[in-house]
Amino acid sequence: MIKLEAADLAARIKAEVKAEIERGVRAALAAVRVGDDPASAVYVKNKIRACEEVGIRSEHHALPESTTTDQLLELITSLNTRDDVDGILTQLPLPAHIDETAIIEAINPSKDVDGFHPVNAGKLAMGRPVFVPATPAGIIELLDDRGVEIRGANACVVGRSQIVGRPMAQLLLQRDATVTICHSRTRDLPAVTRTADLLVVAIGRAGFIGREHIKPGATVIDVGMNRVSDVDEVRRLFGDEAEKRLEVVAKRGSTLVGDVNPAEAAEVAGMLTPVPGGVGLLTVAMLMKNTLKAAKLRRQ
């Protein structure tokens, strides 16, 4: 089995963005985070660090858990009107008391570098994309970079979120794949996923997809990002690599695993993205690319 590691591609994408910034394109990203969710804090920190690497100016608006929908809308409105801000991202999920839909729809579509606004989602569905959500866009870049044939392939996307599942399916369809979307109500999931030459998994359940779900030789893209700390679970998921992962658990209290059981997938898959080291790196790189695009479009 071939590991579809993405560090090299992510570095190349960021280098391309950096080169354009150094040639004189000015770009700025405003990242908004509400509350103290540790995972959200890490994600925003990684995005801010990436901005520094490529030369995009960034600002981090860290708001307290008590922030109301109206207060957050006021900040978004302010960022919309500022000419020195090209991209706005609101780290999801937001606290339960905030109207997430209202916040997403309040962002100016021309600054919606996450690609979540209904205008950008609609343009993607029509085959006229402007800003594509970073994770699906990064997956397409990875498949192209590694020469994975999309045209004519049977593709299956497990998960129907607006962030990954649905836009992923749209992109694959536009590249002439035959696409099936599966979700929590799909009957006999393994029977469906086993037909896929290309399997993309984004469901948020640690190691859920096993050997029985995977067609021999298939390309498997694991979008999941879950933490596991139970010793027996680590051994079940990682097989021969379990001891290395247990060392990570001993140091950090947990280790990362995707939605695919890596030990079982290695027995049947032709290619598999690792976690970490796979899709997550591309998500940040593509966000930088979207921010650069927003800046260029606005200045045109």
Positions marked catalytic: 47, 91, 114
- Give the span between the Cα atoms of 291 and 201, in whole angstroms: 26
Encoded amino acid at 114, one letter: D
Q: How far, in Å, CA of 48 to CA of 70, rounded?
A: 25
Dump strand ranges (E) for the chain.
2-3, 28-34, 57-63, 87-90, 154-158, 178-182, 198-201, 219-222, 226-228, 255-257, 271-272
CA distances from 292 to 58, 76, 87, 95, 108 (A): 12, 20, 9, 29, 16
3-state secondary structure of 63: strand
Give the three-state DSSP class for 168: helix
Cis-peptide, bond into residue 276, ω within 30° of zero? yes
Torsion of the alpha carbons at 121, 127, 131 and 134, rounded to the nearest 10: 90
What values do phi and psi take at 54, rounded to 5? -100, -10
Radius of gyration in angstroms for the set of CA atoms belonging to the chain, rounded to a whole number: 19
